[in-house]
Amino acid sequence: MDEDDRGPNDTTLTSWVPVDAASDFAVQNLPYGVFRRPGQVPRVGVAIGRHVLDLSIVERAGLLPPMPEGTFAAPALNPFLRLGRATWSSTRSAISQLLRPGSSLEGSQGEVLVPQDEVELLRPFDVGDYADFYSSEHHATNLGRMFRPDGEALLPNWKHLPVGYHGKAGTVVVSSTPVTRPRGLRLVDGRPEFGPCRQLDIELEVGTVLGSSWPAGGAGLTADAIAEHVFGFVLLNDWSARDLQSFEYQPLGPFLAKSFATTISPWVVTLDALRPYLVAGPRQDPPPAAHLAATEPRALDLHLEVELNGTTVSRTGFAAMYWSFGQQLAHLTSNGGGHRPGDLLGSGTVSGPERGSEGSFIELTWRGEHPLRLPDGTERTFLHDGDTVALKGWAGGTDGRPRVGFGRCEGTIAPAREE
């Protein structure tokens, strides 16, 4: 076959692998993940429709651009993350060609193409450092109103820098990992008491996955330097124990209330796949300092949803985030701290301005004043044992544009362990 000169984002592309219109994994997506067939070692693959393309086999067959041998036979994306933008893009192009009708792989079964429901999806990369931001103006305003009713909703620094904190990389888990209700010290009748969290919440976020690396002690990255340093994105649920948080967090910030589990989607959707969905972000006033200035488009037009036990309880958009992922990266490196491949940046809870567009239960229920009513007749303010929360997110899917999504990012609450 002659090489097809359409780019991997061309909306007219089709694949010899069947892809439902409602699938997150159109041939324009090609998200990376790590999967394991029963009894085999983990390998890197790409999702296409209901299948996974085994990249370790494709690599061994010499069908990919030059890269260190066994890059995709690894149990994590990190060796690939290290290689940088040129290799990421050329690899994406090669995979796109292989999945188009008429490619040498067409009709391959079993070995190279495996149904997703026959494999286990693992955490796609080893997380270096995990930093979590607070970059939705609506979310920060909502929490400010709840926790500081007599003060300004936004603190004085909020519009000058993307406020953030460091999290615990070791507790980042992949979708479907059970989330055990944490225990901790919280106030009961005004006195600290140790026991199971009573205000277990979620935070709907999008995580930025860094590739390449940047040395410590150097200049910071600019907000426009994302191309070389941002590999892609995951959905991220920053499970939060609100009662533990309110007792522990002064003066050094959230600690154990957010470090028992952070769930990410099994699929990393690349920046390359999402380029057609970069859009202008909200106007920033005051204008950010020069090192945080970004040229537009800086925001990602993703539709996001939260599902509780099968009922969609929030629908929101990622494009309205005040601070963009590029600005978060510029901020994070502005002190000279550098970054490593596999570092993960949480966007902060994504909340919109309307009721039903908030990314946490504390906001959706306004601290319990308006509990959610579920179809089974029960109510929720915070999560019960056995509840399942699934985050979903995608770009496109309308006006003839393919759907470029993450799959589900879900977790079910297991009861607190007896001590």
**What are 191's two structure tokens?**
């006195």
Catalytic residue, candidates 139, 303, 331, 339? 139
C-beta closer to its own copies: residue 217 or 377 = 217
In whole angstroms, the minimum distance from the beta carbon of 220 to its own copies comes to 7
Q: Is 24 in the site for its own copies (CB under 8 A)?
A: no
Tell me the CA end-to-end span of the chain in Å, nearest whole number: 64
Distance in angstroms (rounded) separating the CA atoms of residues 417 and 243? 18
Q: Is 370 in the site for its own copies (CB under 8 A)?
A: no
Question: What number of residues does the chain have?
Answer: 419
Query: What character string, x for contact with its own copies (CB under 8 A) and - otherwise, covers 291-330?
Result: x---------------------------------------
Restricting to residues 167-226, which ones interact with its own copies according to CB under 8 A? Answer: 167-171, 173, 178, 180, 182-185, 192-194, 216-220
139 is catalytic: yes
User: What is the DSSP secondary-structure string of 21-52?
Assistant: TT-SB-TTT--EEEEE-TTS--EEEEEETTEE
Among the listed residues 38, 252, 295, 375, the single contact to its own copies using CB under 8 A: 252
Q: Is 163 in the site for its own copies (CB under 8 A)?
A: yes
Distance in angstroms (rounded) separating the CA atoms of residues 378 and 243? 22
Restricting to residues 327-356, which ones interact with its own copies according to CB under 8 A? Answer: 331-332, 334-340, 343
- Comparing CA positions, the residue from 6, 18, 98 lying closest to residue 58 is 98
Among the listed residues 134, 231, 318, 323, the single contact to its own copies using CB under 8 A: 134
In whole angstroms, the minimum distance from the beta carbon of 283 to its own copies comes to 19
Q: Is 359 in the site for its own copies (CB under 8 A)?
A: no
Q: Which residue has the tokens 């009721």?
A: 355
Q: In a 3-state reduction of DSSP, which class is residue 409?
A: strand
Provide the CA 266 distance to its chain's centre, in angstroms.
Answer: 9
Report the half-sphere exposure of 148 (CA within 13 A, side-chain side). 9
Q: Is 259 in the site for its own copies (CB under 8 A)?
A: yes
Distance in angstroms (rounded) separating the CA atoms of residues 174 and 177? 6
Contacts of 177 (CB under 8 A, 6+ apart): 261, 263, 411
- Residues of this chain that bind its own copies (CB under 8 A): 128-129, 131, 134, 155, 157, 160-161, 163-171, 173, 178, 180, 182-185, 192-194, 216-220, 241, 244, 247-257, 259-261, 289-291, 331-332, 334-340, 343, 414, 416-419
- Which residues carry out catalysis? 139
